[in-house]
Structure 1
Amino acid sequence: MKVFLLVLFACLGAASAQFNRFSQFDSAVNRGLKIRGVDVSAPPAKGIQELYFEQVLDHFNGQNNATWKQRYFVNDQFWDGKGPVLLMIGGEGPISSAYVQEHFITYNYAQQYNALLVALEHRFYGESQPLDASKTENLAYLSSEQALADLAWFREQYGASVGAADKKWIAFGGSYPGCLSGWLRQKYPSSFYGSFAASAPVDAKLDFFEYFEVVERSIGEKCAADFQGASEKLWEMAQTADGRSQIKDLFNLCADLPSDALSLANFMMGLTDPIAEGVQYNEDRGNPSAITPICDAMANATDKIQGWASIVAQTQQGQCMDASYESAVQSLVTPGAARSWTYQTCNEFSFFQTTDSTKQPFSKFVPLKYYYALCDDAFGTDPLLRPRIDQTNTIYGSRNYRGTRTHFSNGSIDPWHALGILSADGLPKSNSATFIQGTAHCADLYGPAPSDSQALIEARATQARILAEWLASDEP
């Protein structure tokens, strides 16, 4: 079990002597790849092309003629020039050649349908940098609307250049890219014939307290009670200098834990990260349960705080944790995926995971004001940056999805399902949805494995049937 935990949390480790909760940020899909042992930094395999597309900077201002280079990967080994194009959408992190290889279900479909595999990186992530992201004013060009227009323009221009303009393009995405995949069918229905949206949190929400509620239900009553008791004790300890000194030693902090509310919130989020990761990717790709060793560590510990510290220690891998709020802000000031995604949450989506609910196990450490402070201090805009979630939900419809030919899938263990579309009831008839019992974040987006659960096997069979119907259809 310990071996699995080390593999699971490898994506959180850092090469430096210190780490904080933002220093090794990566996209949800990339974290899933790393859990599977995929080296996302490996050079492209033979036959896979890494290319750059001349992309428009501002799709909504005809007087702005600026362009930039957007990275994409192509795998044409199965394409016969007649088959469809399967597009993997990049999201809140860099993409790699893994996106057009056997790690995703699209590879299986490419073999079956002689399809062209393409993956497009999201603007302001990875190597796709339109402007200097350290300047907040440049991030005005970072939005889901610009990203959707990127996808549509790429489809038109690249498709024409390779003789695929008249082919059916099918979009695939998981997590935030799952949202983009679904939204493409609303905003650009003539460009993409169908979309698969895995674990897509389509409901932008300011206070996403439900995230930790799902965590509590997933780990079970006894385990949740162990964390709740430890959290309450940590809160008491954090109120005194002696208590904070003990916390420093228990959790191998790099320095004394500051007493301000923002640093306490940042510290607690650092402690919840491995628990949330364990739930979000539980039993992913046949790996042993992450929930079981986490809860066993708590159950077997006489001192529950020490049990929790032993779990966190595996994420640290010998490094000290910088729990200060200032270190978190510094990570978000520095250009990178964490800064870009935090800007998007501060501007469009929120998804702020607080401990405001009484049905979660992590006490009261993390209020909404923690996230407001991060938005203010990382971006320093005037007026202050605040999530325009009402506008986002008006633009895209939240769960009142009005696009067509889109398949939504969510896993019951995944906390993000709380913001997703779990049923096709009330949606246009050509849409569908699958709620997969016992599965994790984006589980059905990855390639199949012999150890897949029956529920996941059936979900993929549904997905395959839907794709076959779309590709055989004569409907425009």
Structure 2
Amino acid sequence: MQLRRLLLAVLIETATVTAFVSWKDSVSRTSSDLLRKRIGKYQTDGTSTVENFVKSALQNDPSTNPLFVDLPLDHFGQNPGGQRIQSRYFVQDAYYQPGGPVIFHDIGEGSVEPWAVALTDEEDFSVSTAKRFNGLLILFEHRFYGESAPRTRVSQDLYSASRSQLTEFYKYLTIEQALEDVVYFASNFTYEFQDLPPQQLTPDKTPWIYIGVSYSGVRGAWLAKRNPGLFKATLASSAPVQLKVNFWEYFTAIEDALAINNQNCSADLHAAANWFSQVYQTRESALIDQFIDAVYQEGWQDIVRRRPGDVESDLIWDARLDFMKDAAWTAFADFQNYGVNGGTLGRFCDIMETAYDPEGTPEGVFATETLQRAAAAYAKAVASMSRYSYTSSRRTQGNQKRQDGFKPALDSGLDSYSWLWQVCTEFGAFQVANTSRPENLLPSFVNVTAQIDQCIDMFGLSEQVSRAGPDVEVINQRYQGWYLELPNTLWTNGEFDPWRALSIDSKEEDAPTNDTATTDIPQCGGSFPAGTQLRYLIRDGYHGSDVSENILNADIIGNIGDLSPTKTIGNGITATLRRNPTSTRSYLAGTPIMDALNAQSLWFNAMSSWLPCSTLPFTYTAAQATSSAPFTSRSPFPTDPSSGGSERTSSTGSKQGNAASSFTLPSMFIPLLISFTTFVTGVSGVL
């Protein structure tokens, strides 16, 4: 701990990379397509499967008109009317007609602002839903993200805050507090129309519809269980309902995808992970230093210059470790959204496998070349794919801003800190190595123990952050995890989404096997037999594919006919498929996920059935004060730090990284603003 903090100080002083260049566990923040579309509405991104522009079919742009609601900071305290928090939201009312529903799109763990720019895009999933059903669309920002956080000295300068100050600041960022925000907001919602008389828009008077992806998708499922009737229909897209601490299964989808056409790349990634593991155990620095220097250049060179006689110290080995973690993650950075050939992984494999032979070799470069030449090919791929430059620290930039007299209202790292807190305390999903598997793709030092240590490095030991890891069992027991059954809910998952392993469509060995998927939509007042739910598995789909794909024409997409449990849909996927075998299909880079259209159509048909339904009446009841703490003292998490833990347990967690979330940006550790750039290196000049 002391060494890591010393290294952090050294690196801040040099204005280079911090000790906490985290293992960037891919936060599942909805599809990158969504993010790219919203951030880059005037840009074109060749890797996106959707059009990256907004069709301004409407004259008024509601993205310029943020609204705020006052919510209790502590819904369950003795004085809920006391300290308040403002949550931001945006409204698109252009399609609303009296009697239409309220479409509530929960953004989840990120700023709502990038999403708001699509409010005039009629091919956007949520906007199209509002248009189709004459609804009022709300984009809602989660507490402690974006602009929805208390204004304090801590929130204005998170990096300078002590661990105890961070813990005090975040103590009301819990799953239950955030769920109650939605209930409170909906039950007290009012809106002034410019050209309509006042409307009764609370859920007891007007149907509310929930749309959520990833973390926000599971929030919708939890709300349906927690507050029946609040929403008349719920889309729980890519929702990881079974929380786990040790989430090594994240990589099984990647393994399956690589096994189709990229077995040589899979072998090389496995070999590279083993090499990294051995290097860290034996401290053989010569080749790894050449590798790090070739990829990270100035960031590494500045560290060495500062400590010229200390290159074998624990301090410098901590820096090497962080660089190796970053390199190990690079190939997988956007897999959950694009798969192999559609994203980083396919390009990474192409660069590495063709480093010495334009056709590549079936065995891979680590099997056919010397270690030095194989490491050079791997370095070339990492350097070409990495978006991160380590030449400027966030702390230095922050100091410059203060010298210039600039003081931001909220720290620019708020979203990353906030999600890290949630991952470390309750959500989990540490994406770690499982070295007992011959397909393992990660170094052994990417393990649960290391992730928990990083959480403690960040927030310190407390009731909320402990060596037991995230307290996932409370939520699993309260909401039943994989065994959760809900009415008026459509569950969707992508066939190759890594988060599917924690979803209702999990094919993992410890997932339930006696449940049934159907595409038969219950009519008003109807229900399914026990164990049967409305589910759709999107063929060739990834994380949130149904929401990230554009609605090509909301007026003609609709009835997809009889989707009986024995029929196949669209491209041939069986709707009731539960434990499907590994696919043998190949990917087409850059192509839309066509089967997502069937999932979208099923959602529209379900809404058409459920909206007129008068069942599930909702009555608002104010939250009751409770003295029970959300966390309890628990034993340290049992894991083998050398292997990353191969045992299955019901828990989840992550240190600096992201778990399931609703945008898909890889997370970096917080005391650092990493600029996005590309390093291009030739094989001959790598080492």
Give the TM-score normalised by the residue count of structure 1: 0.84
2:427 maps to what in 1?
Answer: 349
User: Which of 233, 255, 268 is the equivalent residue of 1:226?
Assistant: 268
Where does the alignment leave 5 or more consecutive residues of structure 2 unmatched?
Answer: 1-14, 44-53, 159-165, 193-198, 305-310, 357-372, 394-410, 507-513, 518-526, 553-590, 617-687
Amino acid paired to 2:333: E
The more displaced of 291-300 and 24-33 is 24-33
Name the counterpart of 2:70: 54
> What percentage of aligned pairs have identical amino acids?
25
Q: Distance in 1 between matches of 2:101 and 2:61?
A: 19
Write out aligned runs for 1:63-462 (5 A). Answer: 63-64=79-80, 65-96=82-113, 97-98=116-117, 100-102=119-121, 104-130=124-150, 132-133=154-155, 134=158, 135-159=166-190, 163-165=200-202, 166-220=205-259, 221-238=263-280, 239-253=283-297, 254-255=299-300, 256=304, 266-282=322-338, 288-302=342-356, 303-316=373-386, 319-320=389-390, 336-357=414-435, 358=437, 359-383=439-463, 384-385=465-466, 386-422=469-505, 425=515, 429=528, 431-448=533-550, 452-462=592-602
SS in 1 for 2:441: coil
What displacement does 1:101 show? 4.4
Moved more, 382-391 or 395-404: 382-391
Q: Following TM superposition, by how much is the alpha carbon of 1:307 offset from its aligned partner in structure 2, in angstroms?
A: 3.3
Deviation at 1:362, TM superposition (A): 2.2
Q: After alignment, is 398-407 or 344-353 more displaced? A: 398-407
How many residues were matched structurally? 450
Q: Quote the Cα distance in structure 2 between the aligned partners of 1:289 and 1:277.
A: 9
Amino acid at match of 1:192: F
Q: Deviations over 1:278-314 (max 9, x none)?
A: 3211169xx9454432222222124443333333324
Whether the 8 Å CA contact 2:124–2:551 is kept in 1: the answer is no
Larger deviation: 271-280 or 83-92?
271-280
8 A Cα contact 1:27 1:93, kept in partner: no
CA 1:71/1:459 → structure 2, altered by over 3 Å: closer, same or farther? Answer: same
**Does 242-251 or 72-81 show the bigger shift?**
242-251
Deviates more, 1:435-444 or 1:125-134: 125-134
Aligned partners of 1:292 and 1:192: how far apart in 2? Answer: 40
Unaligned runs of at least 5 residues, structure 1:
1-15, 324-332
8 Å CA contact 2:183–2:230 kept in 1: the answer is yes
Contact 2:331–2:385, Cα closer than 8 Å, also in 1: no
Residues 383-406 of structure 1 deviation map (CA, whole Å, 9 limit, x = unaligned)? 543311111211221111133211
**Secondary structure, in 3 states, of the residue corresponding to 1:366?**
coil
- Cα distance change, pair 109–382 in 1 and its aligned pair in 2 (3 A): closer
Structure number with the higher helix fraction is: 1
1:259 Cα deviation from its structure 2 partner: 5.4
Give the corresponding residue for 2:643. Answer: none
Distance in 2, matches of 1:455 and 1:100, equals 24
Equivalent-residue separation in structure 1 for 2:615 and 2:200 (angstroms)? 21
1:229 CA displacement: 1.6
Q: Quick one: distance in 1 between partners of 2:375 and 2:421?
A: 34
CA offset digits 1:404-429 (Å, max 9, x no partner):
21111111221111100118926972
Q: Which of the pair has more CA radius of gyration?
A: 2
Higher RCO (CA < 8 A, seq sep 6+): 2
Over the residues paired in the alignment, what is the CA RMSD in angstroms? 3.4
Contact 1:171 1:195 in 2 (8 A): yes
**1:468 pairs with 599, 608, 625, which one?**
608
Structure 2 CA distance for aligned equivalents of residues 23 and 366 of structure 1: 11
1:115/1:104 CA distance change after superposition, 3 Å: same
- One-letter code aligned to 2:212: G
Moved more, 465-474 or 390-399: 465-474
SS for the counterpart of 2:181 is helix
Q: 1:240 to 1:23 in 2, by over 3 A?
A: closer
Cα distance in 1 for partners of 2:104, 2:185 equals 11
